[in-house]
Amino acid sequence: MHFISWNIDSINAAIEHKSARGEMTWAVLQDIAAQKPAVFAIQETKLKATGLTKKQTTVLTELFPDYQIFVNPSTARSGYSGTMVLTRLNPLAVTYPAIGAPGDMDLEGRIITLEFDDFFVSTVYTPNSGAALARLTDRGDWDDAYRAYIQSLDAQKPVIFSGDMNVAHHEIDLKNPKTNHQSAGFTDQERDKFSALLAAGFTDTMRAQNPDVPGIYTWWAQISKTSKINNSGWRIDYYLVSDRLADRVVEAAVIDTGLRQDHAPISLKLNS
């Protein structure tokens, strides 16, 4: 089975592709469609609170003709955050859970979970701790609530979950760990919370497949014109699986997006 996950940074920008960056995003989306993953998870859709427009639905349906599409837009703030899942597999159930997160986080469309016969597939767009770490305390509360939620799924059947988790776990997971220590995404708290998530019974598939390989990143800052060229990035997007699925992982990879900065899609392949 093949799974792909991507923080697309605006579905509409990809579908309209009126800018050079939009054209690159559209090309990546077309490449993903050609790979025909069983499940394709998207974060940061930036949809309106009402969901997909008619045009967006038409374009996505034409590009992914054999897929069911499920969206969880932000109702707290339209055009912000949001997740989406496209699946060729028929789910038993689809949920858009509230996990008891602080503030408006449960209203920001951050999680979609699909239940299948033998496993759950879930995607998440983890809140960023923000400038000057203004949201760090709330982020810690989110991490605790999210870990409890994923554990509740895992108690029922194995879980395959992915997303922009907004944390680089170890120094190997970003180019400049020393200068970024205590920056959003690389605070001790965020890293400890991610360690706690793994300790709760889950495997970081990319690092399990590449335990000591540096330079594997999934995000490059747009503000720096040379971040992608110099591979000065962060690994903040993950596929995690229940530990009892770890031996079924045959490939965990970052999909090449050429010169496009921001997030790259990640790919996971499991033996059936």
**Which range of residues forms the domain containing residue 118?**
2-270
For the domain that residue 44 is a member of, what is the CATH number? 3.60.10.10
Overall number of domains in the chain:
1
Contacts of 58 (CB under 8 A, 6+ apart): none
Active site residue 164: yes
Q: Write out residues in the chain with pLDDT < 70, as ranges.
A: none
pLDDT at res. 214: 97
Q: What is the dihedral of CA 264, 121, 98, 130, to 10 degrees?
A: -20
Task: Spot the catalytic one: 80, 125, 217, 239.
Answer: 125
Is residue 123 within 8 Å of residue 162, measured between CB atoms?
A: yes
Contacts of 211 (CB under 8 A, 6+ apart): none
Q: Sheet holding 266-270: strands in order across?
A: 68-72, 83-87, 39-43, 2-7, 266-270, 249-254
Tens-digit pLDDT profile for residues 42-76: 999 999 999 999 999 999 999 999 999 999 999 99
pLDDT at res. 272: 81
pLDDT at res. 130: 95
Tell me phi and psi for residue 129, to 5 degrees.
-70, -15
Query: Amino acid letter at 24?
Result: M
Tens-digit pLDDT profile for residues 86-108: 999 999 999 999 999 999 999 99
pLDDT at res. 76: 97
Active site residue 125: yes
- Structure-block tokens of residue 125: 């767009």
What Cα–Cα distance (Å) separates residue 245 from each residue in 3, 146, 203? 14, 20, 9
Task: Spot the catalytic one: 141, 154, 164, 204.
Answer: 164
